[in-house]
Structure 1
Amino acid sequence: MTKNLLMISMLSMILLLIACGSDNDADAGDYTLRLGITQNDQNAEFKGVETFKEGVEKRTEGEVTVELYHSDQLANVPDLVEQASMGNSVGTISDAAMLGDLKKEFYILQSPYMFDSYDQIGKVTESELYQGWVEDFADQGIRILSFNYYLGERNLATTSEVTSAADLRSNVIRTSGAQIVDETISSMGASPSGMPWTEAYPGLEQGVINGVEAHNLAIYESSMYEVINHIAKTNHYQLVSALIVSEDWYDNLPEEYQEIVIEEAEKSGEAAAELALEQSREYEELMGEYGVEFHEVDREEFRELTEQVYEKLDMTEIREEVLEVLNQ
């Protein structure tokens, strides 16, 4: 009897150790994040997520691993946002326009002529108003780790010269397909055409589109200067993007790791923004050497034309709330 009890006790201990080992393996596997972006590996965005990966893996001693993918190798941004919301262990860098398709209030962070500087957007993201939006996204399965990936002003890069709204008539401009962007380009006088960024270069080559709505980094690093001749400095958006991940992946992390990924996301965005500002100035000079002509425009004309976007998308009230934050 004693021998049988001893055997049962030993067997129970072995089974317990096996179960603990299995749990540890599962937990370790759950901490892997696949993070994909649209831009190439020379872009400030990618340098930012490299900083995120290094910081997170170092501070968690490799318990949290981050796999990086550039140039839409993993999937494009809309697909990754959807996958994240469904609970897959993925993340991406998404602009406010794309996220605004899920929560309309977020459109305001990428609305025409809403902000004059990166600092103004930073003031909004420190407000209680913004924090409420972050929690709403969490309820939809998306965790916004940071919203400080600043990549510069958005302009119009075209095959023909544009200095006024009249010059945009009959022009087809590539957009991300987000509603706020399409409405903005339409109100400025052009026809928006939503398509993946990777299709924009051949689209320009083949004459399917006449231009793109983009910032200097994206234009230069995708060699768009080979197929466009002009850049109209409309500065219609200050482009700031979010580092987002699946809420399920985030919730599965121990609390100390959650704090680490938030802190490292903020640091990575700051690093990306600093590099982006340097590159934007450098790339403008280089594109000028390639023969691209930069044109100043009457921004007040475009500002007045895009006022209708706020009414069309029922954003007048949220704009007033944001202006209150900026005036505090």
Structure 2
Amino acid sequence: MKKNLIIISMLSMVLLLAACGSDNSEDDESYTLRLGITQNDQNAEFMGIESFKEGVEERTDGEVTVELYHSDQLASVPDLVEQASMGNSVGTISDAAMLGDLKKEFYILQSPYMFDSYDQVGELTDSELYQGWVEDFSEQGIRILSFNYYLGERNLATVDEITSAADLRSNVIRTSGAQIVDETVSAMGGSPSGMPWTEAYPGLEQGVINGVEAHNLAIYESSMYEVINHIAKTNHYQLVSALIVSEDWYDDLPEEYQEIVLEEAEKSGEVAGELALEQSEEYEELMSEYGVEFHDVDREEFRELTEQVYEKLDMTEIREEVLEVLGQ
């Protein structure tokens, strides 16, 4: 009997220690964030999240760790957004259009001809109006850490020359499939076709699509200049993306670490934005040398055509609120 009691006592101790070890493991896991993006490891987005990783890990003495994945190695952006909303310890860089599919107000950050400059985007994201959207959005399981990953102007990269809405008609243009983007391309005169970015190159090669709406970084770094001949500088919106993570992961962090994560996210967006501006100019020169022709267009024509998008998506009131923030 005494021997059995000793054995039972020892087993209980082992189980207790195992349980404690399991709890610690879960705590450690909750402090580990896996960040994945679509672009490659030479892209401004990746340089930005590298800056985020370095800053967070250094300032938390390694208590918060960030694992980085590029080129959809972890998962696609839509999948990562969904995983984050379900409470998984993941994050990504998402554009406003994709977030707008979940909360309409964010569409405004990627609406046609809404902002005249990136500074105006900053005015909005510094406002109480925007902060309210962020807090409401957290109820969907997603925490927006920063919305300042500025990646450049979105234009039309096509096989045939486009200088007007008439030229765009009958052209099938690859889009992300987000509603605001599809409606914008349609209003401009094109036929939107939602598909993964990785399918756009072969789609152009095979004649499935006639062009893409994209920014210089995405076009050049995906070698898209090999299968298009023209880029119309429509500048229909400026691509500003957000660094997002799981709300559950963020909530589990101690308050001091939350502050560090927010601060480093803001800094990382600035790093990405500065690099993106430099690369955009460099890539335009390189693509011109390759033979791609860049065309100035009558943006006012496209601006007038896309006015209908705001009414169609019931965004008139949101737009007026934003214009009030901008003092217009």
Kindly tell me the number of residue pairs found equivalent between the two proteins.
324
**Residue 222 (structure 2) aligns with:** 222
CA deviations 1:44-91 (Å, max 9, x no partner) are 001101111111111112221111111111111111111111111110
Cross-structure match for 1:34: 34
- Alignment partner, residue 108 of structure 1: 108
Q: Counterparts of 1:23-102 in structure 2 under 5 Å?
A: 23-102=23-102
CA distance in 2, matches of 1:315, 1:14: 60
Q: What is the distance in 2 between the residues matched to 1:197 and 1:136?
A: 30
Q: Which residue of 1 aligns with 2:140?
A: 140
Q: State how 1:191-270 maps to structure 2 within 5 Å.
A: 191-270=191-270
The CA distance in 2 between the partners of 1:193 and 1:16, in whole Å, is 57
The one-character-per-residue Cα deviations of 1:77-128 (angstroms, maximum 9, x if unpaired) are 1111111111111100000000000000110010000001111000000111
Match of 1:212, SS state, is: strand
Q: Given the superposition, is the C-alpha separation of residues 10 and 71 from structure 1 closer, same or farther in structure 2, using an over 3 Å criterion? A: closer
Between 1:74-83 and 1:235-244, the stretch displaced more is: 74-83
Q: Could you give the per-residue CA deviations for residues 195-238 of structure 1, whole angstroms, max 9, x where no partner exists?
A: 01111101101111000000000000000110000000000001
Tell me the distance in 2 between the aligned counterparts of 1:201 and 1:11: 61
**Distance in 1 between residues matched to 2:16 and 2:199, nearest whole Å:** 55
The AA in structure 1 aligned to 2:53 is K
* 1:272 paired to 2:275: no
Percentage of pairs with the same residue: 90
Unaligned runs of 5+ in 1: 1-7
Deviation at 1:14, TM superposition (A): 8.6
Alignment-derived partner of residue 3 in structure 2: none
RMSD: 2.0
Inter-partner Cα distance in structure 1 for 2:256 and 2:295: 50
Report deviation, 1:19.
5.2
Residues in 1 aligned to 2:12 and 2:311: alpha-carbon distance in whole angstroms: 68
Shift of 1:25: 2.5
Find the counterpart in structure 2 of residue 3 from structure 1.
none
User: Kindly tell me: are residues 37 and 11 of structure 1, through their superposed partners in 2, closer, same or farther at Cα, counting changes over 3 Å?
Assistant: closer
Q: 2:307 is matched with which residue?
A: 307
- Per-residue deviation at 1:287? 0.4
Using structure 2 for the length normalisation, give the TM-score.
0.94
Q: For residues 282-326 of structure 1, what are the alpha-carbon distances to aligned partners after superposition, in whole Å with 9 as ceiling and x for unaligned? A: 100000000000000000000000000000000011000000000
Q: Which moved more, 1:173-182 or 1:253-262?
A: 253-262
Distance across 2 between alignment mates of 1:38 and 1:139 = 26
Structure 2 letter corresponding to 1:130: Y
- CA shift for structure 1 position 31: 1.1
Give 1:320's aligned residue.
320
Bigger drift between 161-170 and 248-257 goes to 248-257
Q: Hey, what does 1:295 align to over in structure 2?
A: 295
Unaligned runs of 5+ in 2: 1-7
1:165-191 deviation per Cα after TM superposition (whole angstroms, max 9, x unaligned)? 000111000000000000000000000
* Deviation of the 1:9 alpha carbon: 11
1:186 aligns with 2:186: yes
Select between 44-53 and 61-70 the one with higher mean Cα deviation: 61-70
| Shift in Å, 1:20 | 4.6
How far the C-alpha of 1:24 sits from its partner, in A, is 2.5
Task: Give the Cα separation in 2 of the matches to 1:146 and 1:209.
Answer: 34
Q: Distance in 1 between matches of 2:183 and 2:83?
A: 26
Deviations 1:1-56 (A, max 9, x none): xxxxxxx9999999876655443332112111111111111110011011111111
Structure-1-length-normalised TM-score: 0.94
Matched, 1:166 2:179: no
